[in-house]
Homo-oligomer: A and B are copies of this chain.
Amino acid sequence: MTADKPFTVWAPHAQDVRLHLDGETHPMSRGDGGWWVSDQLRSPGQRYGYELFDGEEWSKTLPDPRTTHQPDGPHGLSEVTDPRFDWSDDAWTGRALPGQVLYELHIGTFTPAGTFTDAIEKLSYLRDLGVTAIEIMPVQPFGGERNWGYDGVEWHAVQHSYGGPEGLKQLVDAAHNAGLAVILDVVYNHFGPDGNYNGQFGPYTVPGNTGWGDAVNISGENSDEVRAYILDSVRLWFEQFHIDGLRLDAVHAYDDRGAYSIMEQMQAIADEVTARTGVPRSLIAESDMNDPRLITGPEAGGYGLAGQWVDDIHHALHTLVSGENHAYYEDFGSMAALEKTLREAYYFTGGYSSYRGRNHGRPLNTREIPAHRLVTYTTTHDQVGNRAGGDRPSMNLTPAQQVLKAAVIYSSPYTPMMFMGEEFGAKTPFAFFVSHTDEELNRLTSEGRAREFSRAGWNHAEVPDPADPATFEASKLDWDLDDGQQEILEAYRTLLRLRRELGLARPDLSQLIVETGGEDDRWLAMGHEDVMLLANLSGRAVTAPYGGELIYSFTSPEVGAEETALGPWEFALIRR
């Protein structure tokens, strides 16, 4: 990474390797463990690539798997970058997960220009909103300029069209100066389909369908270097980019069969960097396993991650308010499901999941695992974007319904997260979009998507073409807020302020009170001896058997001494 080191590349099966450097070709010599070494030294600004000889012919010039910059995208030459940066965040002491409020954003659609630089302009807005950390959807290079980011191929680099590595550092530096932490979403379970040349260098993948392609080789032969490729990337984000946390995409798709989980190894790096720098570094898994082991401490045999996403709470809440029950929503949609999930964090604790066709999950020990390890939300990129039309809840629900859902999440002890634009009820969709450089790939993606939704019963016409630039453009947030949106935004701001002031991020889940009136009388009471959220998850007036003094509502509930009358989709945060 530093300027005075020779060029090296891992290519264990190559017969020969040569360096293509600024237009000239240089031989390389075989070192230990499948590494090849050049006598040329790295210097920032150089453009380079490697050529591999398989015994019969030389490959074309390929980008470095460990490239840190691809100025022309994943297919072009790599560029040596200067790891140094003029950081101004020395005063930043970081934020561990407890007490945080996350804001998930997609660089390309967060602002009109879709760059890191433009995102900087929104930081003060987010801080004023009450957000404590931005969570950036993946920025590792992908084909073209439009992609959610889950098609990244070069895991040590940053998408050029967003502003490249310099741009990301500028955003992180600015965020820290604005008092915001930065969490980066990183995909280590598969490589994108466009621009992935790693397989020509070595066994980066193994057969095994993750749903998005071959599995990454972290357990098979020659997997040590692939693990190192990932682990060095984890370290890179923490050390060179000052990233505060990583959101690990779909860890259930890791082919992780060694005696050491790669998650433990990632956590060891997070722990080491935390201890050395004094700035907390967090790992947050996106896990579809409902396995407490991920967020259990190592003393109890866990991986010790700081947190995990928990879809169950989303599903329990979303189904009740939206009335939807398709696909993975089918096991939810009841007050009983909401009650269990809010109390135990997981809905599936070993019982049958009809969506999965098998028993799923195991109980989380609510006396041992603090609530802040569970990241909850009413909207994410997936829950919006993986709908046929990419329509947000705000496009289907009333403002009162939207704020009701937010009130449940922000009054809960779990770590809350919102998806960009949710806070003002954005009316722009967040559709799935791609811009692969191979038109055939675009066609396959479009057709696959249409087919997938067609099977699920959606009307084909509703599915925007992912490869159409208009789909991307339409997904950009419209920051010109109308009065209704301003009202929603103010409600979010208030809920976040009250969360802080009332100290609602209480870690001990075993102390949380959760009650409901059942399926016919759909009030929810959630809280503590001193403060309680009362919410009506129905369009019928209900009376919740708790009273006191109203702290906040989006509407006008009648809070009595012993009970509270709630109109349709109404809530009341009360002091008891």
Chain B residues positioned under 8 Å from A208 (CB to CB): 208
Measured CA separation A220–B258 after assembly (Å): 20
Q: Is A39 an interface residue (CB 8 A)?
A: no
B221 touches A358 (CB 8 A): yes
Distance from A294 Cβ to chain B, minimum over Cβ atoms (Å): 10
Contacting B at CB under 8 A, from A277-317, are: 289-293, 296, 299-302
Distance from A206 Cβ to chain B, minimum over Cβ atoms (Å): 11
B259 touches A357 (CB 8 A): no
Chain B residues positioned under 8 Å from A356 (CB to CB): 221
Chain B residues positioned under 8 Å from A300 (CB to CB): 299-301
Q: Is A361 an interface residue (CB 8 A)?
A: yes
Q: Is A29 an interface residue (CB 8 A)?
A: no
Q: Is A222 an interface residue (CB 8 A)?
A: yes
B259 touches A289 (CB 8 A): yes
Measured CA separation A296–B357 after assembly (Å): 31
Of B224, B259, B302, B362, which contacts A352 at CB under 8 A? B224
Measured CA separation A362–B260 after assembly (Å): 7
Contacting B at CB under 8 A, from A210-228, are: 219-224
A259 touches B291 (CB 8 A): yes
Distance from A416 Cβ to chain B, minimum over Cβ atoms (Å): 24
Chain B residues positioned under 8 Å from A291 (CB to CB): 258-259
User: Given the known A-B contacts A259-B289, A259-B291, A301-B301, are A358 and B296 also in contact in the complex, defined by CB atoms under 8 Å?
Assistant: no
Per-residue contact bits, chain A 335-354, to B (CB 8 Å; 1 contact, 0 not): 00000000000000010100
Chain B residues positioned under 8 Å from A46 (CB to CB): none
Q: Is A359 an interface residue (CB 8 A)?
A: yes
Q: Is A360 an interface residue (CB 8 A)?
A: yes
Chain B residues positioned under 8 Å from A360 (CB to CB): 258-259
Chain B residues positioned under 8 Å from A259 (CB to CB): 289-293, 350, 360-362
A296 touches B301 (CB 8 A): yes
Measured CA separation A259–B296 after assembly (Å): 13
B357 touches A222 (CB 8 A): yes
Closest chain B residue, CB of each to CB of A217: B358
Per-residue contact bits, chain A 536-567, to B (CB 8 Å; 1 contact, 0 not): 00000000000000000000000000000000
In the complex, which range does the number of interface residues on chain A fall in? 20 to 34
Give the interface centre of A258, A296, A361 by most chain B CB atoms within 10 Å: A258
Chain B residues positioned under 8 Å from A362 (CB to CB): 259-260
Distance from A318 Cβ to chain B, minimum over Cβ atoms (Å): 23
Chain B residues positioned under 8 Å from A222 (CB to CB): 357-358
Chain B residues positioned under 8 Å from A361 (CB to CB): 259
Integer count of this chain's copies in the complex: 2
Measured CA separation A258–B292 after assembly (Å): 11
User: Given the known A-B contacts A260-B350, A289-B259, A291-B259, are A358 and B223 also in contact in the complex, defined by CB atoms under 8 Å?
Assistant: yes
Contacting B at CB under 8 A, from A242-285, are: 252, 257-260
Give the interface centre of A259, A302, A357 by most chain B CB atoms within 10 Å: A259
Measured CA separation A363–B223 after assembly (Å): 19
Chain B residues positioned under 8 Å from A293 (CB to CB): 259, 301
B224 touches A358 (CB 8 A): yes
Measured CA separation A223–B359 after assembly (Å): 8
Contacting B at CB under 8 A, from A194-210, are: 208
Closest chain B residue, CB of each to CB of A362: B259
Measured CA separation A359–B208 after assembly (Å): 21
User: Given the known A-B contacts A300-B299, A350-B260, are A359 and B224 also in contact in the complex, defined by CB atoms under 8 Å?
Assistant: yes
Measured CA separation A230–B292 after assembly (Å): 25
Distance from A224 Cβ to chain B, minimum over Cβ atoms (Å): 5
Chain B residues positioned under 8 Å from A359 (CB to CB): 224, 258, 260
Closest chain B residue, CB of each to CB of A294: B259
Measured CA separation A221–B302 after assembly (Å): 26
Measured CA separation A357–B217 after assembly (Å): 12
Of B221, B223, B252, B302, which contacts A301 at CB under 8 A? B302
Measured CA separation A291–B259 after assembly (Å): 5
Chain B residues positioned under 8 Å from A352 (CB to CB): 224
Measured CA separation A93–B374 after assembly (Å): 47
Closest chain B residue, CB of each to CB of A223: B358
Measured CA separation A532–B36 after assembly (Å): 50
Measured CA separation A134–B97 after assembly (Å): 54
A221 touches B357 (CB 8 A): yes
Distance from A191 Cβ to chain B, minimum over Cβ atoms (Å): 19
Provide 24 A-B residue pairs closer than 8 Å at the C-beta atoms, listed in order of the A residue: A208-B208, A220-B358, A221-B356, A222-B357, A222-B358, A223-B357, A224-B352, A224-B358, A224-B359, A257-B289, A258-B291, A259-B289, A259-B290, A259-B292, A259-B293, A259-B360, A259-B362, A260-B350, A293-B301, A296-B301, A299-B300, A300-B300, A301-B301, A301-B302
